[in-house]
Structure 1
Amino acid sequence: MKIRNIIVIMSVLTLIIVSTAFKVVTIGKSPVPSLKEAFSDQFHIGTALNAFQIIGRDTAAMKVVKRHFNAIVAENCMKSGRIQPKEGEFDFKLADQFVEFGEKNDMLINGHTLIWHSQAPQWFFTDKEGKDVSREVLIQRMKDHIYKLVGRYKGRVHTWDVVNEAVLDDGSYRKSKFYEIIGEEFISLAFQFAHEADPEAELYYNDYSMAIPEKRAGVVAMVKKLQEKGLKIDGIGMQGHIGMDYPAIEEFEQSILAYSQLGVQVMITELDLTVLPSPWNQTGANVSDNYEYDKKMNPYPHGLPQEVEKTFTERYTDFFKLFVKHQDKISRVTFWGINDGHSWRNNWPIRGRTDYPLLFDRDNNPKPVVDSIIKIAKQ
């Protein structure tokens, strides 16, 4: 073969290769679009970040975050026990990194949480002798804490879970130390202080088991009281700690409707789907609950059977159909963790169990449910 012919053939092959590559880059798309892209016209898709992820040690998980999520929430680093372990001694190092990551990646940043009875430092409620402080002292401590935390991130943290889990499943107020010392007014004071610290931030109430009718009624009544006082409350976070057979989707929908009728946004927060049996019909998310290990309560230590994986996918898909149906009322859907290995569900309410509640497996690979959920967004 002549040199000239070889050159011509090589030139043609080169053009074909370049043309093909060009088409892939400019026209072709990833076979699996990201969650944030799929739901860009509906609502934000978020996830909680733990300490290892925030400091950059869990690089594999952070690749998933950057690709699939456009909203983040602080899992633990902004809770009062972490921020102010001793009175007047604030530790913002991890929280600063959390906020900086969100800003760098153009994400909706949610602060969690300002006032919560759990993971609060003991000093918050007691004097030097270990006795309960007065109402006036606790109010001042609340104000100082909220002013310091919210004020530090004024204009940077977009939304705050101001009060967390203050209502019981029967609709009554939880008898926490905040309630015992101050009374139900601690809720309105928290919202007042948060608004004063950053008038532009959106302020939310957040709680679990929000589909229970009695609790729904209690939360609605509480929000109406805040509104009657002229206080700013922008949204209600419905913690999505769901199971394979609870809550009923119909009741969950009734709560979305009831909360949105108050004129506030609804967020699906802390979303995860446990596949494990619940001891004694445990369906809440009270972190202090704890039961002894029983082998029968840990049925899938080495992975999910195919039929369970299929049911898991269908259950998540049904909920996302609901979320899309009410996309005009829902501003954000946030998962409580990135992959199964990160989930608190593995150890609650029984330590040592293996659960599979999130969209990505322990190696950060998307499960079949991811594709199913994305298809919902396209319909």
Structure 2
Amino acid sequence: MASALLFSACKGNAQQEENSTLKTAFQEKFAIGTAMNAWQITGRDTAAIRIIKDQFSAIVAENCMKSGRLQPEEGEFTFELADQFVEFGEQNNMLINGHTLIWHSQAPKWFFTDEEGQDVSREVLIERMKKHIHTVVGRYKGRVDTWDVVNEAILDDGSYRESKFYRIIGEDFIKLAFQFAHEADPEAELYYNDYSMAEPGKREGVVRMVKKLQAEGVKIDGIGMQGHIGLNHPEIREFEKSLEAFAGLGVEVMVTELDLTVLPSPWDDQGAEVSKNFDYEDKMNPFPDGLPDEVNGDFNARYLEFFALFLKHQDKISRITLWGVADQHSWRNGWPIRGRTDYPLLFDRENKPKEVVADIINLSNQY
């Protein structure tokens, strides 16, 4: 009996040692990724680069592939940083995700206006979209594995966001974007990406939109659920309902921008509308010097709750991506209120794994 217990303990320890990083723990389940910023892409943040290489199997461009960065002036493309990002992924044998081709935010103003500053015609905007997508996707054909083709086009109530793309082209801008991306690289996987995907109205709107694309023969391979979560929002069952609904469309599901804010929100929900900002107040920055034990315990429990959900549905999920490497890199520190200190990621400000990382790895061994 003692020998059997010793063998069991040794086997368990061996498995834990083998799965000592997030990358190895999830390698048979789904890809585990992170977003890379400019300092990491260019090699200046060596501590973060070590974490990326050791812990993650997938990378996404945080900002350098957005249209305003790639084509700030019409016809003038700036590919240097994006090239370095792709090269990093190739050199380290990682799944490379391009983010994002068509998004109303961080798009250059020239995209939508003529020389007099008036809105361009539908035909002109379609042609500009086509040129941008063909140029960008074509440049990385066979190198970038997946693209977030359209980002955040559906509102929480399920209606279309009245962006410039929608106002000038109509809802067909989504179909056209996917068609242009497929033309540029027929082998790349093409995704729709959005936040607050646990909201029932948005869930239904995205399902309607994807079904329409599928009925029209448009190639759409997956749906990205941005995982910008809080300690109390969204309800995990609603998140699960959306995950199941999207998988039921016959596409892959990714959690694309996972982070967990512990800070109070100035409004009731925990969406990710980047245009919103609020004034700083001390009460809205309650943990400038670190998390109390109780809050840290809630943080750990919440992350484990979501990773248990991801593992439960590993047959439906192809990738989980953290939106940043360590806490100091997170956009959460400055949004929606600048100057706050948040703790949303799995690695702390000293680039060390938080205790929840080992718990997540141990949890993965149970599935």
Both proteins in one fold, TM over 0.5: yes
Larger Rg: 1
- Is residue 363 of structure 2 the alignment partner of residue 366 of structure 1? no
- TM-score norm. by structure 2 comes to 0.95
2:106 maps to 119
Instruction: Give the CA deviation at 1:244.
Output: 0.1
Correspondence list, 1:267-346, <5 A = 267-346=254-333
Amino acid at match of 1:133: V
- 2:178 alignment partner, one of 179, 184, 191: 191
Residues 188-240 of structure 1 deviation map (CA, whole Å, 9 limit, x = unaligned): 00000000000000000000000000100000000001000101000000000
Give, in whole Å, the separation in 1 of the partners of 2:218 and 2:18: 47
Residues 241-272 of structure 1 deviation map (CA, whole Å, 9 limit, x = unaligned): 00000000100000010000000000001000
- TM-score norm. by structure 1 comes to 0.92
- 2:71 alignment partner, one of 84, 98, 118: 84
Give, in whole Å, the separation in 1 of the partners of 2:46 and 2:70: 25
Identity, in percent, stands at 72
2:202 maps to 215
Asked whether the equivalents of residues 16 and 362 of structure 2 are also in contact (C-alpha less than 8 Å), the reply is no
Residues 282-325 of structure 1 deviation map (CA, whole Å, 9 limit, x = unaligned): 41101110000011000000000111111100000000000000
Aligned length: 353
- Is residue 190 of structure 2 the alignment partner of residue 203 of structure 1? yes
Of the structure 1 ranges 316-325 and 276-285, higher mean CA displacement relative to structure 2 is found in 276-285
Correspondence list, 1:150-169, <5 A = 150-169=137-156
Gaps of 5+ in 2: 1-13
Give, in whole Å, the separation in 1 of the partners of 2:48 and 2:148: 24
Asked whether the equivalents of residues 207 and 237 of structure 1 are also in contact (C-alpha less than 8 Å), the reply is yes
Instruction: Give the 3-state SS of the residue equivalent to 1:280 in structure 2.
Output: coil
Asked whether the equivalents of residues 19 and 25 of structure 2 are also in contact (C-alpha less than 8 Å), the reply is no
1:236 maps to 223
1:254 maps to 241
Give, in whole Å, the separation in 1 of the partners of 2:93 and 2:300: 30
Instruction: Give the CA deviation at 1:91.
Output: 0.4
Asked whether the equivalents of residues 327 and 348 of structure 2 are also in contact (C-alpha less than 8 Å), the reply is yes
Gaps of 5+ in 1: 1-26
Instruction: Give the CA deviation at 1:41.
Output: 1.0
- Is residue 40 of structure 2 the alignment partner of residue 53 of structure 1? yes
Amino acid at match of 1:156: R
1:62 maps to 49
- 1:71 alignment partner, one of 39, 52, 58: 58
- 2:211 alignment partner, one of 224, 230, 236: 224
Instruction: Give the CA deviation at 1:53.
Output: 0.3
Give, in whole Å, the separation in 2 of the partners of 1:47 and 1:30: 23
Give, in whole Å, the separation in 2 of the partners of 1:283 and 1:340: 18
Instruction: Give the CA deviation at 1:30.
Output: 5.2
Asked whether the equivalents of residues 18 and 24 of structure 2 are also in contact (C-alpha less than 8 Å), the reply is no
1:350 maps to 337
Asked whether the equivalents of residues 32 and 371 of structure 1 are also in contact (C-alpha less than 8 Å), the reply is no
Residues 22-42 of structure 1 deviation map (CA, whole Å, 9 limit, x = unaligned): xxxxx8985971101001111
Of the structure 1 ranges 27-36 and 348-357, higher mean CA displacement relative to structure 2 is found in 27-36
Give, in whole Å, the separation in 2 of the partners of 1:93 and 1:29: 40
1:94 maps to 81
Amino acid at match of 2:65: M
1:36 maps to 23
What stretches of structure 1 move > 4 A for 4+ residues in a row?
27-32
Asked whether the equivalents of residues 208 and 284 of structure 1 are also in contact (C-alpha less than 8 Å), the reply is yes
Asked whether the equivalents of residues 163 and 206 of structure 1 are also in contact (C-alpha less than 8 Å), the reply is yes
Residues 63-97 of structure 1 deviation map (CA, whole Å, 9 limit, x = unaligned): 00000000000000000000000000000000000
Structure 1 residues 146 and 31, CA gap change in structure 2 (3 angstroms): closer
Give, in whole Å, the separation in 1 of the partners of 2:172 and 2:19: 49
Instruction: Give the CA deviation at 1:367.
Output: 0.3
Give, in whole Å, the separation in 1 of the partners of 2:236 and 2:15: 37
Give, in whole Å, the separation in 2 of the partners of 1:235 and 1:128: 38
Instruction: Give the CA deviation at 1:280.
Output: 2.1
Of the structure 1 ranges 334-343 and 280-289, higher mean CA displacement relative to structure 2 is found in 280-289
Amino acid at match of 2:282: K
1:5 maps to none
Asked whether the equivalents of residues 36 and 68 of structure 1 are also in contact (C-alpha less than 8 Å), the reply is yes
